[in-house]
Amino acid sequence: MSDPAELQRLARLVDMYRQQLTALGEQIERLGQASVEHQEVIQALGSLDDESLPRIMIPLGSGTQLLVDQPNNPGVVVDIGSGIQAEKKVPEAIEILKNRISDIEELISTLQSEFNDTELKVKDLASKFTNDADELQVEEKQQPPEEETEEPPSSKTTSKRRRRNVSGELTLDD
pLDDT the model gives residue 159:
52
pLDDT the model gives residue 147:
55
Compute the average pLDDT of residues 134-155: 64
**Domains of the chain: residue spans and CATH:** 4-141 (1.10.287.370)
pLDDT the model gives residue 109:
96
Q: At what angle do helices 90-142 and 4-48 cross, to 10 degrees?
A: 160
pLDDT value at 144 more than 70: no
pLDDT value at 153 more than 60: no
Q: Name the least confident of 16-20, 30-34, 146-150, 163-167.
A: 146-150
Q: Name the least confident of 2-11, 31-40, 119-128.
A: 2-11
Can you say how many angstroms the Cα of residue 6 is from the centroid of all Cα atoms in its chain? Answer: 24
Cα separation, 100 vs 89, whole angstroms = 17
Enumerate residues 6+ apart whose C-beta is below 8 A from 56.
47, 48, 67, 68, 70
Number of alpha helices (DSSP H) and beta strands (DSSP E) in the chain: 3, 4
99 confidence band (pLDDT: 50, 70, 90): very high
Cα separation, 122 vs 140, whole angstroms = 27
